[in-house]
Amino acid sequence: MSFSVTIDQNPYLPEGPQEVHAIVTVESTGSTVQAATAEVIIIDNSGSMSGSCIYAAKQAAKIAVDTLRDGVKFAVVAGHDQAKMIYPRDQRLAVMNDRARTEAKAAIGKVTTTGGTAMGSWLLLADTLFQGVEGLKHAILLTDGVNQHEPPERLSMILSSLEGHFVCDCRGVGTDWEVAELRKIATALLGTVDIIPSPDGLADDFKAMTEGAMGKSVANVRLRVWTPQNAELKYVKQVMPTVTDLTGRRADVDARSGDYPIGSWGSESRDYHVCVAVPGGTVGREMRAAWIKVVVDGTVEASGNVIAEWTDDEALSTRINAKVAHYTGQAELASAIQEGLQARKEGDLDTATARLGKAVKLAADSGNEALSELLGKVVEVEEATGTVRLKKQVEAADEMSLDTRSTRTVRTRNP
């Protein structure tokens, strides 16, 4: 697989200390090699999953098993107030073949509901299963409830210990789970979070997640950022396909360089927003504000430069790069939605109206039609005046869909 790096920015700065903003597009292409992959499917089988939820979850897990290609190492885990092996019965990964596929689906069919919910223990078992495995490591976690049988501090501690070990996509079925809780897990483990409002949607979603995992070719890719002396790296954020702040995930390489984990890759493209504070320069001076590298297994696969150039031409120094402006707005859109929904939950309707009203405008300006449609289920907009009002009756599933998908971004229409 080959990587490329493209930098979009306005390098021109007025005199004095300034911030340099750049959008770094990383693209990977070309690999048809099926990478060594390990998959752990985690199904919530707590008491609240009884009835249609557990039935649909088992059907979805069977479809995920069918989607795994031969040779993939895998396991199926049931999670309640503890984690239990479903297939294989002992604590190890099986190797997928026709026999294993048949046995795994039969074992999934026998799963019953019991007990409470302790997601940290589920993730610890997945990590134990992945230990010693080389290549791509991916987990799916499905739940319908909140993590009520272990303290929040314990989950936080577990997530800190698991960062970088494997990727985990999280799904909540129904509306009795907490978006912030699953987002916390997905963010720590570089995965995605989404709502499946009805159990009927589980099968298609599990199939898509498993196919996505099978489509990855390279694991543990890192974005390495070098900055010069007297410069300060303010932040590194993924801004496409979702907004994720990577700043706190830095692993120092040396005094001037740090690595940021960007997960597993197939043939795809992602965008990152890098901001560097540089010392003041005189007119005509040019410097490298950052050196961006894509690193796989210690090897630099691609690189690009973020440039700073001081000028007294106000037309140049005040110009905002279109991509930078677009993704700054997309990050603000995600924050506005989440803050507005939290204010609504707390009964602060004025703040909720203001923040969600701002979100309506940002979504429209950026062409994010998916979020505009979801916002329309939570607020009303008077076409004549543009006035935004909160809807009095909002379905819980619509509110949670808006929350989970608030970080999904779109690319600029006219880059």
Is there a single domain that holds both residue 12 and residue 46? no
Q: 59 is written with which tokens?
A: 């059907």
| Rounded Cα distance, 122 and 161, in Å | 14
Output the pLDDT for position 146. Answer: 96
Place of tokens 């990587």: 3
Is there a single domain that holds both residue 237 and residue 191? no
Output the pLDDT for position 32. Answer: 60
Q: How many domains does the chain have?
A: 3
Residue 190 falls in which region: left (phi positive, over 0), alpha (psi -120 to 50) or beta:
left
Give a yes or no: residue 410 inside a domain: no
Is there a single domain that holds both residue 59 and residue 195? yes
Output the pLDDT for position 370. Answer: 97
pLDDT tens per residue, range 143-168: 999 999 999 999 999 999 999 999 99
Domain carrying residue 380: 323-404
Output the pLDDT for position 1. Answer: 87
The model's pTM: 0.95
| Integer CA distances (angstroms), 199 to 24, 149, 240, in order | 38, 24, 29
Output the pLDDT for position 415. Answer: 44
Is there a single domain that holds both residue 168 and residue 144? yes
Give a yes or no: residue 411 inside a domain: no
CATH number at residue 294: 2.60.40.3670
Is there a single domain that holds both residue 42 and residue 125? yes
Output the pLDDT for position 356. Answer: 97
Give a yes or no: residue 279 inside a domain: yes
Give a yes or no: residue 414 inside a domain: no
In 241-359, beta strands by DSSP E: 244-245, 251-252, 257-261, 268-278, 286-296, 299-310
Place of tokens 């700054």: 328
Segments of the chain with pLDDT less than 50: 415
Is there a single domain that holds both residue 108 and residue 149? yes
Question: Would you say 138 and 37 are in contact if contact means Cβ atoms under 8 Å apart?
Answer: yes
